[in-house]
Structure 1
């Protein structure tokens, strides 16, 4: 019902908003070639979110390995060759490492306090140093080798047992479980087995939900300069769902932190009692 109401309220205003956009838009700089977008939405209608990489590849075919697009009020450049990808991601890294501040990632990362979605600033520089010299240094990575080998072995054993009992093996589910177990054991010393049932499904469901919100776009992201555009997201219920996901994720982090602290305290107490 809300979506139908939104369509009646919002869709008739698109022609007026398109005219305002054409009147007040700034003159664009010299951009690479690309498909001509529609007023107001740009090339948004040409992108299939379920297979975004395929959509982008199809758009680059008539124009070459570098293409300019418009996503609402945002300009974007797509590169599709190895040489250009190296130029963007390595040679010109400082010029391209900035990240737009979108609603989903900003909320779920505590206002950009991570390393994947935060803008290029002093915080990111410090985080990169920590990851390079401490978390992902060769010695540290090698110390987790037994965890990787054990989790891969457990996954292969589970597949073998399911095959012997003539049960269906969902490889996508197994790979998600393997990845999450590796991440959980390395980060928090905890894993969820394939047979764990409710708790495993709950954790994997939360991870999938978070991944979805990290790449989801809101009307406020696409048309940030339009007044009252945030009302569209609220009417569609996206803000409330994002907020619920954030609180679930925050509670999950807190649970893991409390378990870790309690285990350390228990070890300290036991060690003191032994001495």
Structure 2
């Protein structure tokens, strides 16, 4: 019995030592980063938007963990304004809470805010380090891929435009027919899969000359896989906030 007690205390002490070491290491990087940020702000006379006071290591996580995220951010925006500066663990976050500010940042300042967070472990695991078009950071590769996609779908050729318009019209009528059938039944329904099917059919008919029917089992399986990936990316992952926990 004494041996088990000694072993228990040794293992507990080792775990505590590891946690303290990780916290100290992260705190050292936090202080180093804050020092660099302070120097840059002082040198360039930059002004950050207002925001609540953050704590070491956790930042402003305690401001948003106790309520649904949209409610917590709305409450904070009433106090700090439409542009708000938060610190989530080791990441700086700019929160936009009005249509005017969003239009200014996304449309007028799109080149500045077009980047993606590459440090997220979820994106690295599911999307190959964010090398796809949706999650890749702004750069020469993304610009090239987007240019190719845009040139393909927005071809100046009159026949290509007419074919695309025909595909969109056909799939729109298919969607309206499906929605009418659901509405006539008088029951509640989720149009998610029908809308997704129409969008997928427009893309697949334009690129692969193939369309999916509403009862296609393989198509519904692909939709579920995509939805699972999206849900995983949108979900909270503690490793994304504290990378040193990996």
The answer, yes or no, to whether TM exceeds 0.5 is: yes
Cα deviation for residue 103 of structure 1 reads 2.5
1:273 paired residue number: none
1:69 pairs with 86, 94, 99, which one?
Answer: 86
The separation in 1 between residues aligned to 2:213 and 2:68, in whole angstroms, is 30
- CA distance 1:89–1:161, shift in 2 (3 Å): closer
Deviation per CA, 1:116-165: give whole Å up to 9, x if none.
21122211221232233333456556532222222221222223334455
Confirm or deny that 1:80 pairs with 2:100: no
1:91 paired residue number: 108
- CA distance 1:141–1:84, shift in 2 (3 Å): farther
Aligned residues: 218
1:215 paired residue number: 234
Cα deviation for residue 45 of structure 1 reads 4.1
1:256 paired residue number: none
The separation in 2 between residues aligned to 1:65 and 1:10, in whole angstroms, is 43
Confirm or deny that 1:156 pairs with 2:176: yes
Deviation per CA, 1:205-260: give whole Å up to 9, x if none.
11211212333443332122x2xx11xxxxxxxxxxxxxxxxxxxxxxxxxxxxxx
- CA distance 1:199–1:155, shift in 2 (3 Å): same
1:117 pairs with 121, 135, 152, which one?
Answer: 135
- CA distance 1:172–1:35, shift in 2 (3 Å): same
Confirm or deny that 1:130 pairs with 2:140: no
The separation in 1 between residues aligned to 2:218 and 2:96, in whole angstroms, is 41
1:124 partner SS: helix
The separation in 2 between residues aligned to 1:111 and 1:205, in whole angstroms, is 22
1:70 partner SS: strand
1:106 paired residue number: 124
- Structure 2: give runs of 5+ residues left out of the alignment: 1-13, 39-46
The separation in 1 between residues aligned to 2:81 and 2:161, in whole angstroms, is 39
Deviation per CA, 1:35-88: give whole Å up to 9, x if none.
23344222334447x964444333211111110011111011112234432332
Mapping of residues 165-204 of structure 1, within 5 Å = 168-196=188-216, 198-204=217-223
Confirm or deny that 1:42 pairs with 2:59: yes
The separation in 2 between residues aligned to 1:84 and 1:167, in whole angstroms, is 40
2:44 paired residue number: none
Q: TM-score, normalised by structure 1?
A: 0.63
- CA distance 1:187–1:208, shift in 2 (3 Å): farther
Deviation per CA, 1:190-210: give whole Å up to 9, x if none.
3332233x3343122112112
Worse-matched range after superposition: 123-132 or 39-48:
39-48
Q: TM-score, normalised by structure 2?
A: 0.69
Larger radius of gyration: 2
1:156 partner SS: helix
